[in-house]
């Protein structure tokens, strides 16, 4: 009897389900799922659609920007100013590969003020992109972010930027100028490889210049590394497909290591290697045009293979590794700091020669001046004579600063 009653109850419930329609209000509100990572759509304009996700911190990541093809786009569609907020949520990140589908249409992009991160390959292959306006709050540019954007000419890196990823601006051949901010902590390998840069100043906040960071920049003429840079890694400035011709290279007193091939095939005529440098690697400088190298550390670890293909005059200290290396290679000519009379020795006669030059009783040749112009002001001075005297008697260990 009990079994029959239970069967009847179940049958009644099933019948009720058949006649009572299911509606959204039939579910309690707390059971409605609002997956924050689920991609949503925002219609920016008639021809531009923005896909995005709302993250756990209630901010928005733009995952893709889609543009209609084969239509005449409006000015605000080819010159995009992305929204600061979408559906009441602040936009803080441009996601990986966000602009790749629209690579043939966008000319300029202005990122909203809240964006702190540009994802991997976000603008890769946007071959019509000319200008990008970055917000002050941006701290990271991801790997390959602007890779192969061959028309990109105008971009200002903000003062709070900390990271430029690997190959971030690689093959941006129209990018001729960029100012690296003092806030930068790292520049990835190949970050500016094959760019159109004509000059670069690397701030001291960068401790290591990574492999091919500025490789194959054939138009690069001037390189300044500020105090703080410690290591130039393998092939950092190497020319592979096309070598640059450097008119000016300035290395800092904080630099300790120049790794193999660092400036390989780069054309330059003169170079000063600071006394802080302890190691110069294999084929670090292989330009056949390198005429003179000043090695200010008497114990710098290098060999003739650091300067292959070069018929070079090496200026250094008597008894230094520079003199030893030069003596073992016929292509390298050694000249000692302080050798004012070109005798091959550094002694009191050099002090006399300098004093005569200061008094105007004899003149120094350009080559003589190179080894006694310790202050690098183009003329001999009494302070330099005093420095030479202290060096000869062993009071001071260095002449050239």
Residue at 379 is within a domain = yes
280-316 confidence digits (pLDDT tens)? 999 998 876 888 999 999 999 998 889 887 888 999 9
Task: Please give, one letter per residue, the 3-state secondary structure of 372-395.
Answer: HCCCCCCCCCHHHHHHHHHHHCCC
345/22: higher pLDDT: 345
Domain that holds residue 381: 348-392
Task: Transcribe 67-113 into DSSP letters.
Answer: E-SSS---HHHHEEE--SEETTEEEEEEPTTTTGGGTTT--EEE--T
Within-domain flag for 387: yes
- Total residues belonging to the chain: 401
Write down the pLDDT at residue 226: 97
Please report whether residue 56 resides in a domain. no
Whether residue 276 is contained in a domain is answered as: no
Work out the average pLDDT over 111-136.
96
Please tell me the predicted confidence (pLDDT) of residue 401. 65
Q: Is the pLDDT of residue 342 over 70?
A: yes
pLDDT at 15 over 50: no
pLDDT in tens, 31-90: 223 334 699 999 999 989 999 999 999 999 999 998 887 677 888 888 999 999 999 999
Compute the distance between CA of residue 333 and CA of residue 58 in angstroms, rounded to an integer: 67
pLDDT for residue 327 is more than 70: yes
What is the model's pLDDT at position 22?
Answer: 32
Which has the closest alpha carbon to 293: 232, 365, 370?
Answer: 370
Average pLDDT over residues 241-245: 67
Question: Does any domain span residue 384?
Answer: yes
What pLDDT, on a 0 to 100 scale, did the predictor assign at position 318? Answer: 95
| Helix ranges (DSSP H) in 167-240 | none
Report pLDDT for 293.
93
Question: How confident is the model at residue 308, as a pLDDT?
Answer: 84
pLDDT in tens, 79-88: 999 999 999 9
Is the residue at 61 inside a domain?
no
In a domain, 278, yes or no: no
Residue 6 confidence (pLDDT) above 50 = no
- pLDDT in the model for residue 242: 60
Residue 309 domain-assigned (yes or no): no
| Sign of the CA dihedral running 140, 202, 100, 176 | positive
Q: Which of 22-31, 343-352, 381-390 has the lowest mean pLDDT?
A: 22-31
pLDDT tens-digit map of 175-208: 999 999 999 999 999 999 999 999 999 999 999 9
pLDDT for res 235: 93
Instruction: Tally the domains of the chain.
Output: 1
pTM for this prediction: 0.84
How sure is the predictor about 101, in pLDDT bands with cuts at 50, 70 and 90? low
Long-range contacts of 105-109 (CB under 8 A, 24+ apart): 105/67, 105/69, 105/73, 105/77, 105/78, 106/65, 106/67, 106/78, 106/80, 107/78, 107/79, 107/131, 108/78, 108/79, 108/80, 108/132, 108/133, 109/80, 109/81, 109/82, 109/133
In this structure, the number of other CB atoms found within 10 A of the CB of residue 12 comes to 10
Q: What is the pLDDT of residue 265?
A: 84
Task: Give me the chain's average pLDDT, please.
Answer: 87
């Amino acid at each position: 009897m009990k079994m029959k009653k239970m069967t009847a109850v179940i049958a009644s419930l099933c019948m009720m389900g058949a006649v009572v329609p299911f509606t959204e209000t039939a579910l309690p509100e707390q059971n409605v799922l609002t997956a924050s990572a689920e991609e949503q759509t925002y219609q920016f304009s008639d021809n531009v659609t923005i896909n995005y996700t709302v993250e756990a911190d209630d901010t928005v990541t733009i995952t893709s920007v889609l543009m209609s093809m084969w239509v005449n786009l409006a000015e605000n569609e080819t010159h995009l100013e992305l929204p600061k907020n979408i559906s009441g949520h602040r936009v803080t990140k441009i996601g990986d590969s966000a602009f790749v589908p629209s690579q043939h249409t966008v000319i300029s992009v202005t990122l909203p003020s809240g964006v702190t991160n540009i994802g991997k390959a976000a603008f890769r292959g946007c071959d019509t992109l000319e200008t990008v306006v970055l917000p002050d709050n941006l701290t990271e540019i991801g790997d390959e972010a602007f890779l192969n954007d061959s028309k990109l000419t105008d971009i200002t890196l903000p003062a709070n930027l900390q990271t430029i990823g690997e190959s971030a601006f690689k093959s941006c051949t129209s990018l001729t100028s960029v100012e690296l901010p003092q806030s930068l902590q790292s520049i990835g390998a190949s970050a500016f490889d094959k760019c159109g840069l004509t000059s670069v100043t690397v701030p001291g906040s960068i401790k290591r210049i990574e492999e091919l960071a500025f490789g194959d920049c054939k138009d690069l003429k001037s390189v300044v590394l500020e105090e703080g840079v410690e290591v130039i890694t393998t092939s950092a400035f190497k020319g592979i497909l096309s070598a640059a011709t450097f008119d000016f290279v300035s290395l800092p007193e904080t630099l300790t290591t120049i790794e193999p091939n660092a400036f390989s095939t780069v054309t330059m005529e003169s170079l000063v290697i600071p006394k802080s440098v302890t190691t110069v690697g294999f084929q670090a400088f292989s330009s056949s045009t390198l005429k003179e190298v000043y090695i200010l550390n008497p114990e710098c670890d290098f060999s003739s293979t650091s300067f292959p293909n070069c018929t070079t005059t090496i200026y250094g200290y008597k008894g230094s590794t520079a003199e030893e290396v030069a003596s073992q290679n016929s292509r390298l000519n050694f000249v000692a700091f302080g050798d004012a009379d070109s005798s091959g020795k550094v002694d009191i006669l050099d002090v006399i020669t300098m004093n005569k030059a200061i008094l105007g009783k004899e003149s120094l040749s350009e080559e003589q001046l190179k080894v006694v112009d310790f202050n690098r002001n183009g003329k001999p001075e009494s302070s330099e004579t005093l420095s030479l005297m202290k060096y000869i008697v062993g009071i001071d260990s260095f002449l050239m600063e």
